[in-house]
């Protein structure tokens, strides 16, 4: 990756979609994010890997302000993330998030789960929201489950509904935080395939995962974190065949 420094007003024009500059975050005495500089281009797929506790989830959560930061700046599509208010709600809607636990509304049907945000946040009418929800449910392969409740679906199906729900907001970028970690092994691929397709369709994605096969085949770049820092970033081929840092070598020796 070539690092190009640009003036703030030029950010949107360069195609950089998510820009973090010198982001720091503490939990009490724990310096959980240390001087994080990260730029994600439009259409880029970045896989974030690293040992447990290295700050990967916190990084994701700061990008849509589920967590505040102590210093530094984060911008989405050229606009700095505000601390609160209407502008934050709007910008946050541009960032789709899929978690390890599917977080669907249990008392709403699959279809209602995917319609809700479109109506409440994007102010669409019911008919338009339903049309879009059905199209997205078809796209992730669970169209036939639309009238069911989440508990009636398998974990893999629920996670695909969660992806459809996030996509329904027409996000500019999708964050995935270990989306397959809670799934039974036989359901992992059906979720990864949906994510692969999304990547091929040009979605900008930040994916925290231990699925190295996905990283190799879908990522444009691997970001390796340890102890709250970005220790190394490289194209997947280069990272997996020739990691530069001892931390990355050690991590890969344990998981591969």
Residue 30 binding ligand ADP, by CB under 6 A: yes
Applying CB under 6 A, which of residues 53, 72, 80, 143 lies at the interface with ligand ADP?
53
Applying CB under 5 A, which of residues 57, 75, 113, 158 lies at the interface with Mg ion?
57
Q: Which is nearer to ligand ADP, 27 or 105 (CB)?
A: 27
227: DSSP letter: T
Q: How many other C-beta atoms are found inside a 10 Å radius of the C-beta of residue 172?
A: 17
Report CA Rg, the chain: 18
Residue with tokens 């994701």: 60
Q: Which is nearer to Mg ion, 56 or 160 (CB)?
A: 56
Residue 54 binding Mg ion, by CB under 5 A: no
Rounded CA gap, 76 and 20, in Å? 9
- Cβ atoms of 33 and 25 closer than 8 Å: yes
Rounded CA gap, 7 and 10, in Å? 5
For 37, the enclosing helix (H) or strand (E) is strand 30-41
Applying CB under 6 A, which of residues 55, 96, 117, 150 lies at the interface with ligand ADP?
55
52 binds, among Mg ion, ligand ADP, none (CB under 5 to 8 A by kind): ligand ADP
Rounded CA gap, 167 and 63, in Å? 17
Applying CB under 6 A, which of residues 54, 158, 180, 204 lies at the interface with ligand ADP?
54
Stretch that binds ligand ADP, among 45-53, 85-93, 168-176, 190-198 (CB under 6 A): 45-53
Residues that bind ligand ADP (CB under 6 A): 27, 30, 32, 50, 52-58
Residues that bind Mg ion (CB under 5 A): 56-57
């Amino acid at each position: 990756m070539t690092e190009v420094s640009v003036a703030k007003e030029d950010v949107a024009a360069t195609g950089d979609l998510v820009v973090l500059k010198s982001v720091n975050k503490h939990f009490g005495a724990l310096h959980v994010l240390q001087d994080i500089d990260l730029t994600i281009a439009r259409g880029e797929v970045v896989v974030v890997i690293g040992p447990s506790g290295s700050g990967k989830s916190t990084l994701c959560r700061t990008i849509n302000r589920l967590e505040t930061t102590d210093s530094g700046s984060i911008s989405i599509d050229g606009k700095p993330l505000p601390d609160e208010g209407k502008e934050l709600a709007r910008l946050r809607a541009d960032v789709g998030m899929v978690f390890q636990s599917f977080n669907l509304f249990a008392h709403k049907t699959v279809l209602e789960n995917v319609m809700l945000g479109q109506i409440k946040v994007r102010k669409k009418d019911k008919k338009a929201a339903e049309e879009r929800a059905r199209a997205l449910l078809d796209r992730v392969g669970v169209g036939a489950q639309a009238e069911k409740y989440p508990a009636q679906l398998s974990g893999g199906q629920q996670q695909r509904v969660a992806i459809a729900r996030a996509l329904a907001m027409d996000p500019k970028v999708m964050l995935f935080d270990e989306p397959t970690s809670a799934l039974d092994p036989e359901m992992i691929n059906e979720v990864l395939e949906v994510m692969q397709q999304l990547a091929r369709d040009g979605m900008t994605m930040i994916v925290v995962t231990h699925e190295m096969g996905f990283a190799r085949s879908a990522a444009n770049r691997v970001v390796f974190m340890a102890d709250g820092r970005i220790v190394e970033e490289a194209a997947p081929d280069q990272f997996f065949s020739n990691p530069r840092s001892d931390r990355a070598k050690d991590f890969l020796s344990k998981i591969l």
